[in-house]
C-alpha cells in the first residue's frame, strides 16, 4: 500500500493525513459552503441500503410464520422497541421508536464501514478516476455527520418539549427547574439549563465521533506496518485483525449508545418537572 503513493514522498504523517482528509466540494462562497461528498455519499447510500432492506422485509411482513430475514428484522425491531419501552412511556410507535431504529441501524452501518480497508477503498476510487486516491468511508468519523445527528435530535428535543408543555411551560422550565420557582434562583436555573442544552448535543456527537475517529487512526497506524517490509506487513495484519475484532464491539456499542441517548433525550423532553 505504500508503493501506491510513492510519488508523494510518503511519510507516516503524510499517509495518515492523506487518509484523514475529505473529498471536499465547494458549493458556494466561504469556508462553510463545502460538502464532504465522500461522507455524504457513503452515509446516504448506507442509509438507503439499510433502511431499504428493512423496508423490503417489512413490506412483505407476515403475521404468520416469519421467514429468516423477517425473523432477523423482528429481532432488531424487538430489541429497539424494548429499549424505547423501558425509557419512554408515551405513544412510542408514532415517532420515537422508529427514530431510534433509524438511528441505531444507520449509525451501526456507518460505523461498520471502519472494517473496510482504507487503502482498498482509496484504490477503487482511484481506479474510477478519483484524482486524490482517498475516500473517507466512515461517515461517523466526520464531525459533520455526528453533529448533524446530535443537532437534529437536539432540535427534536426542543420541539417535543414545546409541543408537550407549551411554549410557556418550556420557558417556565428553563427558569424554574431544577432549583425551584423562587425568583432569586432563576439565574442559576437558567444557567444550568443553558449548560445542559449546550452539553447534550456536544457530548452526544463527540462521543461517537471520537470513538470512530480514533478507531480509524489506529487502523491507519497499523497500516503503516506495511512500510517496514513483509514481516511488518504480516505483523500489522495480525494486529489489524485483532483491532477489527475489538472494533466490532465498539461499532455496535457506539451505535447502541447513540440510540439510547437519542431516546433518553427525547423522552426527557416529554417529562415535566
Partner 1 sequence: MNINFTLIAQAIAFAVLIWFTVKFVWPPLLTAIEARQKEIADGLAAAQEGKSALEVAAKKSEITLNEAKQKASEIIGQAEKRGSQIVEEAKGNAKAEGERIIAGAKAEIDQELNRAKESLRSQVASLAVAGAEKILRKEIDASAHSEMLSKLAAEL
CA distance 150 to 209: 11
CA distance 194 to 175: 10
With CB under 8 A, what is the number of residues at the site for partner 1?
A: 49
Q: Does 148 bind partner 1 (CB under 8 A)?
A: yes
Residue spans of alpha helices (H) in the chain: 12-19, 37-59, 68-87, 96-112, 118-127, 143-176, 186-223, 230-270
Residue that has been written with the C-alpha cell 439510547 in this structure: 260
Beta-bridge partners for 36? 24
Q: Which of residues 237-256 bind partner 1 (CB under 8 A)?
A: none
**For this structure, is 207 an active site residue?**
yes
Quick one: 1 or 208, whose CB is closer to partner 1? 208
Quick one: 154 or 225, whose CB is closer to partner 1? 154
* Nearest-approach distance from CB 221 to partner 1, in angstroms: 18
**For this structure, is 203 an active site residue?**
yes
* Nearest-approach distance from CB 106 to partner 1, in angstroms: 6
Q: Which cell numbers in the block locate residue 250?
A: 465498539
Backbone angles phi, psi at 66, to 5 degrees: -80, 150
Quick one: 225 or 258, whose CB is closer to partner 1? 258
Quick one: 54 or 222, whose CB is closer to partner 1? 54
Which residues, other chains included, contact 113 with Cβ-Cβ below 8 Å and sequence gap of 6+? 42, 46, 137, 138, 139
Which residues, other chains included, contact 21 with Cβ-Cβ below 8 Å and sequence gap of 6+? 134, 136
Instruction: Kindly name the residue from 207, 227, 231, 244 that is annotated as catalytic.
Output: 207
Beta-bridge partners for 35? 25
Three-state DSSP class for residue 116 = coil
Q: Does 91 bind partner 1 (CB under 8 A)?
A: no
Q: Which of residues 19-78 bind partner 1 (CB under 8 A)?
A: 24, 27-28, 31-36, 39-40, 43-44, 47-48, 51, 54-55, 58-59, 61-64, 66, 70, 73-74, 77-78
Instruction: Kindly name the residue from 111, 112, 137, 211 that is annotated as catalytic.
Output: 211
Among 15, 147, 225, 258, interactor with partner 1 by CB under 8 A: 147
Quick one: 118 or 149, whose CB is closer to partner 1? 149
Q: Does 152 bind partner 1 (CB under 8 A)?
A: yes
Angle between helices 143-176 and 186-223 (to 10 degrees): 170
Cβ pair 40, 27 in contact under 8 A: no
Q: Which part of the chain contacts partner 1 (CB under 8 A), choosing from 82-90, 138-146, 229-237, 245-253?
A: 138-146
**For this structure, is 211 an active site residue?**
yes
Instruction: Kindly name the residue from 21, 67, 203, 272 that is annotated as catalytic.
Output: 203
CA distance 80 to 140: 20
Q: Which of 149, 163, 162 is nearest to 200 (CA)?
A: 149
Active-site residue list: 203, 207, 211
Residues that bind partner 1 (CB under 8 A): 24, 27-28, 31-36, 39-40, 43-44, 47-48, 51, 54-55, 58-59, 61-64, 66, 70, 73-74, 77-78, 93-95, 97-99, 101-102, 106, 139, 142-145, 147-149, 151-152
Amino acid at each position: 500500500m505504500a508503493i501506491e503513493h510513492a510519488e508523494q514522498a510518503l511519510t507516516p504523517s503524510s499517509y495518515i493525513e492523506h487518509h484523514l482528509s475529505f473529498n471536499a466540494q465547494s458549493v458556494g462562497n466561504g469556508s462553510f459552503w463545502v460538502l464532504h461528498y465522500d461522507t455524504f455519499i457513503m452515509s446516504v447510500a448506507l442509509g438507503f441500503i439499510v433502511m431499504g432492506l428493512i423496508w423490503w422485509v417489512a413490506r412483505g411482513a407476515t403475521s404468520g410464520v416469519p421467514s429468516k430475514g423477517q425473523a432477523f428484522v423482528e429481532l432488531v425491531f424487538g430489541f429497539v422497541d424494548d429499549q424505547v419501552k423501558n425509557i419512554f412511556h408515551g405513544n412510542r410507535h408514532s415517532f420515537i421508536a422508529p427514530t431510534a431504529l433509524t438511528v441505531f441501524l444507520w449509525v451501526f452501518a456507518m460505523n461498520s464501514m471502519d472494517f473496510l480497508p482504507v487503502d482498498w477503498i482509496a484504490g477503487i476510487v482511484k481506479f474510477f478516476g478519483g484524482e486524490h486516491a482517498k475516500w473517507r468511508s466512515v461517515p461517523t468519523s466526520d464531525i459533520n455527520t455526528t453533529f448533524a445527528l446530535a443537532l437534529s435530535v437536539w432540535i427534536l428535543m426542543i420541539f417535543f418539549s414545546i409541543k408537550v408543555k407549551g411554549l410557556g411551560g418550556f420557558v417556565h422550565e428553563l427558569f424554574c427547574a431544577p432549583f425551584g420557582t423562587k425568583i432569586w434562583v432563576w439565574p442559576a436555573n437558567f444557567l444550568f439549563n443553558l449548560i445542559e442544552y449546550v452539553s447534550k448535543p456536544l457530548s452526544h456527537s463527540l462521543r461517537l465521533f471520537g470513538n470512530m475517529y480514533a478507531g480509524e487512526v489506529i487502523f491507519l497506524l497499523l497500516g503503516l506496518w506495511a512500510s517496514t517490509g513483509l514481516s511488518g506487513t504480516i505483523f500489522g495484519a495480525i494486529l489489524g485483525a485483532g483491532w477489527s475484532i475489538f472494533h466490532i464491539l465498539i461499532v455496535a456499542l457506539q451505535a447502541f449508545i447513540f440510540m439510547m441517548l437519542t431516546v433518553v433525550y427525547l423522552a426527557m423532553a416529554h417529562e415535566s418537572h
